[in-house]
Amino acid sequence: MALPVSYPELPEAQNAFEKFVQTIPPHGLVVILCDGDVDGLGAGTVLWHYLARNGFGPERLVAAHVPKGGNAFTPEVSALVQAHKPSGLAVLDLGIRDYAIAPGVTTLLVDHHRPEGEPPGSTVLTGYLWRPVPTSSLLTYLLCNHAGQVRDRAWTAAIGNAGDLGPDYPELQQAAKEQKLKYIKEATSLLNSAKRSSDPDRGVPAAFRAMRDAESARELVEGDNADLRLLRELKAEVQTELSEARKAAPRFSRTEKVALIRFDSSARVHPLLAQSWRRRLPKYIVLAANGGYLPGKVSFSARTDLEVNLLDFLARHGEKLDGAEAEYGHGHDKATGGTVSYQNFERLLQSMGFE
């Protein structure tokens, strides 16, 4: 994907970012709340190093993550964040909604998904309308590295950017080559296993620490500590669960260009399954539905190569759901999903033309 030499929106975004950092009170903790995939982890660890090098000692920095099956904009996560009594909060790669996670706290949101409102009093930096759309890792790196402060962490941003299918950015590409692409690819798979596993509440914090503390991608792949050993266990679990899920055959809608792959797994492998079937069924919207990830819920991922906006597609069929579902139809135009009750998932399938 061709990338301009610079994004025209970047200088204004960098100014807003610097203003955010300058307005964080001189005392108290700063919470970095980031997603658990490599894009969120890449953004979070880059910001951690930037702050640690710009007047915020490590003792002031706290990493936090959304519990399994949840989202950032809930009372549960608000309580988790506010328990630290923070003076500053950064929310990375978790979406943007009209909900203040920590009212009264100096807050930054960096993201690339479709925004859904804006928390009052917050600094919101979204790349959703930039072209090409930067991942949260790339955007965070550009914000933090305007004067070269975190150039040595470009390889971690490269992992996050490539792992979320971000645009080709020369500086990150060069950093990845210097690390050797073999190690970048293996580190990406290892780190992503944390959120994809059946136990992300244990895995994601380990992945954050591992990525934050490693000096190279090779160290992540070949190192030996408790966090890396856990990640290798989780990676093996994900591979086993994905292998089982791949045995499910697709069903096809009577009325829509939708293919459904339904299965039960304790691991979050539905996004991987949807992505792999998308390549095999390029003329369909692929829906991979997992009934075993969360009790009483169906977690699903939608992917497509069609000229269809999946957010709009799910919004249209979401009108048939019985009541609001907090996790439904957020994210990217071509990659989204949700978690709904069994009853609502059956309503969704009926609306989409499945018998």
In this predicted model, what pLDDT tens digit does every residue of 60-98 receive, in sequence order? 999 999 999 999 999 999 999 999 999 999 999 999 999
Question: What end-to-end distance do the CA atoms of the chain give, in Å?
Answer: 40
Cis ω for the linkage preceding 282 (within 30 of 0): no
Question: Which residues, in sequence order, are bridge partners of residue 302?
Answer: 287, 336
Render pLDDT for 207-232 as a digit per residue (tens, 0 to 9). Answer: 999 999 999 999 999 999 999 999 99
Q: How far apart are CA 39 and CA 165, in angstroms?
A: 10
pLDDT higher than 90, residue 5: no
Question: Which residues on neighbouring strands pair with residue 340, listed in sequence order?
Answer: 298
Q: Which two tokens stand for residue 235?
A: 């990676």
Residues 66, 33 contacting (CB under 8 angstroms): yes
Identify the CA nearest to 314 among candidates 296, 298, 332.
332
Task: Find all residues with CB under 8 Å of 152, minimum gap 6, and list them.
Answer: none
Residue 237 burial class via C-beta count within 10 angstroms: exposed 0-12, middle 13-18, buried 19 and up: buried
DSSP line for 89-136: EEEESS--BS--SSTTSEEEEEE-SPPB---TT-EEEE-TTSSSPPPH
209 burial class (0-12, 13-18, 19+ CB within 10 angstroms)? middle
- Percent of the chain whose pLDDT exceeds 90: 92
The band of 4, judged by pLDDT with boundaries at 50, 70 and 90, is: very low
Q: What is the pLDDT of residue 173?
A: 94
Cα angle: 39, vertex 264, 280; to 5 degrees: 65
d(CA 131, CA 32): 26
Q: What percent of the residues of the chain are helix, what percent strand, and what percent coil, each to the nearest 5?
A: 45, 20, 35
Residue 324 has what pLDDT? 75
Q: Give the residues across from 106 on adjacent strands.
A: 88
Question: Does residue 155 surpass a pLDDT of 60?
Answer: yes
Q: Cα 147 to the chain's mean position, in Å? A: 26
Instruction: Encode 52-68: b = buried (16+ Cβ within 10 Å), e = exposed.
Output: beeebeeebbbbbbbeb
Buried b (16+ CB within 10 A) or exposed e, 322-344: eeebebbbbbbbbbbbbbbeeeb
pTM: 0.94
Q: Taking 60 as the threshold, does the pLDDT of residue 44 lie above it?
A: yes
Rg for the chain (alpha carbons), in Å?
Answer: 20
